[in-house]
Amino acid sequence: MAQAEALATQGPSPQREITDGFCFFKGAIMPLADANVNISTHALNYGTGCFEGIRAYWNAEQEQLYIVKGLEHFKRLLQSSRILKIKSAYTAEELLDWTVRTLKENGYRENVYIRPLAFKAAQVVKVTLTGLRDEIAIFTVPMGDYVKTEGLRAVVSNWTRVADNIIPSRAKVTGAYINPALANDAATADGYDEAIMLSTDGQVSEASSANLFVVRDGTLVTTPITADILEGITRRAVLQLADQFAIPYEIRPIDRTELYIADEMFLAGTGAQIASITSVDRRAVGDGELGPVTQRLQGLYNRAVRGQEERYLDWLTPVYT
């Protein structure tokens, strides 16, 4: 219980290695400790893999664990795989079924993070994508908040967001994540919680590992998919919630200086969930507190992913029957 509470308040620790439980690997559920790859594996040497991040939320009252938008995530994994020429032996529906079975095997009664991974598994030295053996794996880990969900301090990074014509932005490519890792590490070293990245044209792209929203004069604004962002599943969910609340929204480019005059700002992503940013480059966002639009969206989202909003039950896949 103490460990679960620590995860919920502090997020995952980079010092805590994942060693326990069961995973899906090589077509079967097995102990995570037995799911290993060789150091000559292509994906380890060249970053030739793609992944997803999926959450499952525990509803104690219903004694149910809900996977959030699992099918959408696996469809995006297969799209990423197609870009990298990774062949999947499984459909999105089959991968979701293996995830349910893996979660059941682990017997979780807490919030969980799910990591599917598709990668070039061949043990060769060759810079290519063609003619290599592929593999898919899924592992899971208990997880509370990835970042705190209120009062985040952000900085505009001097690391530029990698362009789609350099490394595909809409694919969650493993090797590409050195780009946000550099940005986030620099931000935290300077005392910030998150980095906001600009694209090569100098306009706002997204945060280091989440999509970005601002609120101006009651209108929700987020960057378009052509701004070198990941086509976020939580981003789409936020726009769906905005429709529910009749909150107007725009999908358009955002200038850097708009960050300094926004009334509200928040992250949206599977890991980040909906997390409010209250300062950028040491300038307060609005009045420096959680804003009303963010608060409404955050509250509805938190209820929806836990099976407490009937209209959004189609987002969810129950694990225990």
Is 320 inside any structural domain?
Answer: no
As a whole number, mean pLDDT of residues 236-243 equals 97
Question: Which pLDDT score is estimated for 13?
Answer: 66
Percent of the chain with pLDDT over 70: 95
Domain boundary among 142, 166, 198: 142
| 108 and 236 together in one domain | no
Q: Give the total number of structural domains in the chain.
A: 2
Q: How many other CB atoms are there within 10 angstroms of residue 311's CB atom?
A: 10
Task: Kindly report, residue by residue over 92-134, the tens digit of the pLDDT.
Answer: 999 999 999 999 999 999 999 999 999 999 999 999 999 999 9
| 28 and 107 together in one domain | yes
Average pLDDT, the chain: 94
| 159 and 291 together in one domain | yes
| 156 and 245 together in one domain | yes
pLDDT band with cut points at 50, 70 and 90 for residue 10:
low
172 is a catalytic site residue:
yes
**Cα→Cα distances 187→9, 214, 259, Å:** 20, 20, 17
> Comparing 17-21, 81-85, 248-252, 315-319, which segment has the lowest mean pLDDT?
17-21
> Whole domain around residue 227: which residue ranges?
152-304
The residue with tokens 């480019």 is 253
Helix axes 233-245, 70-83, angle to 10 degrees: 140
Task: Kindly report, residue by residue over 147-169, the tens digit of the pLDDT.
Answer: 888 999 999 999 999 999 999 99
| 269 and 131 together in one domain | no
Question: Which pLDDT score is estimated for 3?
Answer: 41
Give the H/E segment covering residue 83: helix 70-83
What is the full DSSP assignment across 75-112?
HHHHHHHHHTT---SS-HHHHHHHHHHHHHHHT--S-E
Catalytic residue among 69, 75, 120, 172: 172
- Residue 152 to residue 147: CA distance in whole angstroms: 8
Give yes or no for a contact between 209 and 234, defined as CB atoms under 8 angstroms apart: no
Domain CATH code at residue 283: 3.20.10.10
pLDDT band with cut points at 50, 70 and 90 for residue 14:
low
Domain CATH code at residue 64: 3.30.470.10
Instruction: Say yes or no to pLDDT of 239 above 80.
Output: yes
pLDDT band with cut points at 50, 70 and 90 for residue 145:
confident
Instruction: Say yes or no to pLDDT of 70 above 60.
Output: yes
Instruction: Say yes or no to pLDDT of 6 above 60.
Output: no
| 287 and 230 together in one domain | yes
| 61 and 168 together in one domain | no
Domain boundary among 124, 142, 160: 142
CA proximity to 82, closest of 170, 165, 161: 170
Question: Which pLDDT score is estimated for 16?
Answer: 80
Q: What are phi and psi of 185, to 5 degrees?
A: -65, -40
| 162 and 75 together in one domain | no
| 80 and 224 together in one domain | no
| 127 and 163 together in one domain | no
Instruction: Say yes or no to pLDDT of 17 above 90.
Output: no
| 43 and 164 together in one domain | no
- Beta-bridged to residue 279, according to DSSP, are 153, 284
| 102 and 222 together in one domain | no
As a whole number, mean pLDDT of residues 226-230 equals 97
Give yes or no for a contact between 83 and 171, defined as CB atoms under 8 angstroms apart: yes
Question: Which pLDDT score is estimated for 146?
Answer: 77
